Amino acid sequence: MRYEARLLPDRFPDRTNRPIALDHARAPYAEALQRYVTTIGVRAGVPGHLADPDRGLADLLGGALAWDIPPLTDGIDTEPDGSPSALDAARALAADAWGARRTWFLTNGASQGNLTTCLAIRHRGEQIVVTRSMHSSVTDGMALAGLTPITVMPHVDPIRGMTHGITPDELDAALAAHPQAGAAWVVSPSYFGAVSDIAGLANVAHTHGVPLIVDEAWGAHFGFHPDLPTNALRRGADLVVSSTHKLGGSLGQSAMLHLGHGDFADDLGASIDRALPMTSSTSESSLLLAGLDLARRDLVTRTDRIADSIASLTRVRDALRADPRFAIATDDVTDDRAVHAIDPLRLVVDTRGTGLTGHEARHRLFHDHGVHIEMSTDAVVVALVGAGSHLDEQRLINAFTGLPHGTARDVIIHPLPEPGDRVLDLRTARFADTEIVPATEAIGRVSADSLAAYPPGVPNVLPGEAITAEVVDFLIASAAAPHGYVRGSLDPEVTVLRVIRD
Ligand SMILES: Cc1ncc(COP(=O)(O)O)c(C=O)c1O
């Protein structure tokens, strides 16, 4: 498919006001990099490997090593006359593809997008209303920026332990109770592919006079095929963090930050520009930047391949539905008011009918069948296919149907405990003097750490919150369960906790 080249509107003030021709069949950054690789005969600068073929790194990367070039290279990152560079053109194309006013390329993942966003919104107010299933980079960013999270508990499937999002009504109630909050921040889609009602959430946030930030780490591919959910930006979000490497097809660790078009764009755009150098390397990887440019080109121009990925997973789902041992866990998930749509590139299979928990099934699929599945809970496994990637569907189906015919397994998912009250602000708690005490003696003390039992991975305690007996019991029980894991714990059994020194 070929796209008409057209001129970028003048409103795009990224480094230069000069118009950039938009042709999505091109990958200007990657093409400029290729020209450099074929024309430069001698390299005498960083990176110090100099693309020398007689190095271990060259054995690993082959010709790709030559694509690892220094920043601020003329003809790629900059133009001597100040006209738009290949990097400017690549970012402009990405902004156009996702429907953004501006797009920034990130080389330290969506984590960098979250850290940057925290720093960039600090001037809007100290409190932020946020879904409690926020990624750890949001908690860290809030500590760095001095933000206090007002958390809203996401919906959690009580049978399968899957996390969804929050509803517009729940956001409305939280913003009404905290009128001084400077922004609203939600995670959509969830790890399980549940997409929130972003248009409704954006409407609520705007009615309360605050921007809506969406952590769309798991939805970088949204909007690039009619059967995929619309992306958050096109549904009214003001700032979107996107982990392009997850399902969007770029290299690991590369991501994007997209700015929306609404009333907050001027303010947020300027503050992102100031915050980004605080989280970026001055030597961003050209390989990662080129990967983002090429991923955008493929997403826009190879819709037929995305259709193949979707059709392939649909056939896998149909094959597993025909086997009474399996249930497709997303089939009835839209009954939950917090779920607006489901990502068709996620395959969520309830394996309990085989007599195996999701964790056991994932282990078997890996060791007995050579199939790597993204993640598992007690009840389900979650597989995924990147948009436009080919899946060996028959091998995947054979691996699932090769699982045992055991007695159906019941697993007990414990309801999440109510978090303790906030005693200290997040930043003070995160950087305070601390001590480590036995978990039972931590009850009534103030937590210095963030701890989240998996699944579902929603933080049970955040820095500055009181540690309750209910939370301690839950963490210890979660850690003791087969495959139990508590992220942030000092030891696997949660025998000790780090608290603020009195
Ligand atoms: C919701 C969410 N946001 C952000 C991130 C961070 O993404 P990255 O690994 O690209 O830094 C993750 C990682 O899994 C995530 O699940």
Lowest-pLDDT choice from 23-27, 78-82, 108-112, 181-185: 78-82
Helices (H), ranges, 353-485: 358-369, 393-401, 426-430, 469-480
CA 91, 97, 101, 104 dihedral sign is: negative
Mean pLDDT, to the nearest integer, of 386-398? 97
Give residue 16's pLDDT. Answer: 61
User: Cβ contacts of residue 243 below 8 Å, gap of 6+?
Assistant: 109, 110, 113, 217, 218, 220, 255
Q: What share of the chain is helix, strand, coil (3-state, %, to 5)?
A: 40, 15, 45
Residue 477 and residue 417 in contact, taking contact as beta carbons nearer than 8 Å = no
**Ligand 1 pocket check: which of 213, 243, 375, 458 to mutate, most ligand atoms within 8 Å of Cβ?**
243
Segment 86-100 mean pLDDT = 95
Confidence class for position 3, pLDDT limits 50, 70, 90: very low
* Mutation test residue for ligand 1: of 104, 107, 132, 137, the one with most atoms within 8 Å of CB: 137
Mean pLDDT of 434-445: 98
Summarised one tens digit per residue, pLDDT across range 320-379 is 999 999 999 999 888 899 999 999 999 999 999 999 999 999 999 999 999 999 999 989
Measure 190 CA to ligand 1 centroid, in angstroms: 11
The sign of the dihedral angle between the CA atoms of 487, 491, 496, 497 is negative
| Rounded distance from Cα 219 to ligand 1 centre (Å) | 11
pLDDT attached to residue 398: 98
pLDDT at 15: 58
> Looking at residue 334, what is its pLDDT?
80
Q: Which residue has the higher pLDDT, 82 or 382?
A: 382
Answer whether 203's CB lies under 8 Å from 197's CB.
no
Q: Write out the two tokens for 445.
A: 């003390």
203-218 mean pLDDT: 98
> What confidence tens digit (pLDDT) does each residue in 106-133 have?
999 999 999 999 999 999 999 999 999 9
Q: How far apart are CA 463 and CA 278, in angstroms?
A: 23
Q: Report CA(296)–ligand 1 centroid distance (Å).
A: 19
pLDDT digits over 180-192, tens only?
999 999 999 999 9
Where does the chain hold its CATH 3.40.640.10 domain(s)? 99-289
Question: Ligand 1, residues 132, 135, 244: which to mutate, most atoms within 8 A of Cβ?
Answer: 135
Residue 108 CA: nearest ligand 1 atom is: 11
Q: CATH classification of 99-289 is 3.40.640.10, yes or no?
A: yes
How close is the Cα of 472 to the center of ligand 1, in Å?
26
Q: How far apart are CA 302 and CA 304, in angstroms?
A: 5
DSSP state of 355: T
Task: Indicate where the chain has its CATH 3.90.1150.150 domain(s).
Answer: 303-401
What number does the ligand 1 atom closest to the CA of 245 have? 10
Q: Which atom of ligand 1 is nearest to the CA of 246?
A: 10
List alpha helices for 80-239, DSSP H: 86-98, 109-121, 136-145, 168-177, 198-207
Please tell me the distance between residue 359's alpha carbon and the centre of ligand 1 in angstroms.
Answer: 21
Q: What is the pLDDT of residue 427?
A: 97
pLDDT, mean of residues 437-466? 95
Whole-number pLDDT of residue 309: 98
CB within 6 Å of ligand 1 — which residues? Answer: 109-111, 114, 135, 137, 187, 215, 217, 243, 255
**What span, in angstroms and rounded, lies between the C-alpha atoms of 51 and 468?**
56
CA distance 44 to 414: 60
Q: What is the mean pLDDT of the chain?
A: 94
Is residue 372 classed as helix, strand or coil in its secondary structure?
coil
Kindly report the CATH number that applies to the domain delimited by 426-500. Answer: 3.90.100.10
In the beta sheet, which residues pair with residue 498? 436
Q: How far is the CA of 135 from the centre of ligand 1 (A)?
A: 6
Residue range(s) of every CATH 3.90.100.10 domain in the chain? 426-500
Going by alpha carbons, the residue nearest to atom 9 of ligand 1 is 109
Number of the ligand 1 atom closest to the C-alpha atom of 114? 4
CB 91 within 8 A of CB 108: no
Task: Choose one of 111, 192, 239 to mutate for the ligand 1 pocket test, by most ligand atoms within 8 angstroms of C-beta.
Answer: 111
Q: What ligand 1 atom has the least distance to the C-alpha of 255? A: 10
- Please tell me the distance between residue 458's alpha carbon and the centre of ligand 1 in angstroms: 14
Across 227-234, average pLDDT: 98
CATH number for the domain whose boundaries are 303-401: 3.90.1150.150
**What spacing in Å lies between the alpha carbon of 141 and ligand 1's midpoint?**
13
Q: Report CA(47)–ligand 1 centroid distance (Å).
A: 28
Residue 14 — very low, low, confident or very high, per pLDDT cuts 50/70/90? low
Residue 330 CA to residue 348 CA, distance in Å, equals 6
**Which pLDDT does position 12 carry in this prediction?**
46
CA 56 to chain CA centroid, nearest Å:
32
DSSP 293-343: HHHHHHHHH-HHHHHHHHHHHHHHHHHHHTSTT-EETTTTGGGSTT--EE-
Q: Which atom of ligand 1 is nearest to the CA of 187?
A: 1
Is 219 a residue whose pLDDT tops 60?
A: yes
Average pLDDT over residues 415-442: 96
Residue 161: pLDDT band with limits 50, 70, 90: confident
Residue 159: what pLDDT? 82
How many angstroms separate the alpha carbon of residue 291 from the centre of ligand 1? 18
Q: Residue 17's pLDDT is what? A: 66
**Separation in Å, CA 239 to CA 113, 137, 192, 215:** 10, 16, 22, 9
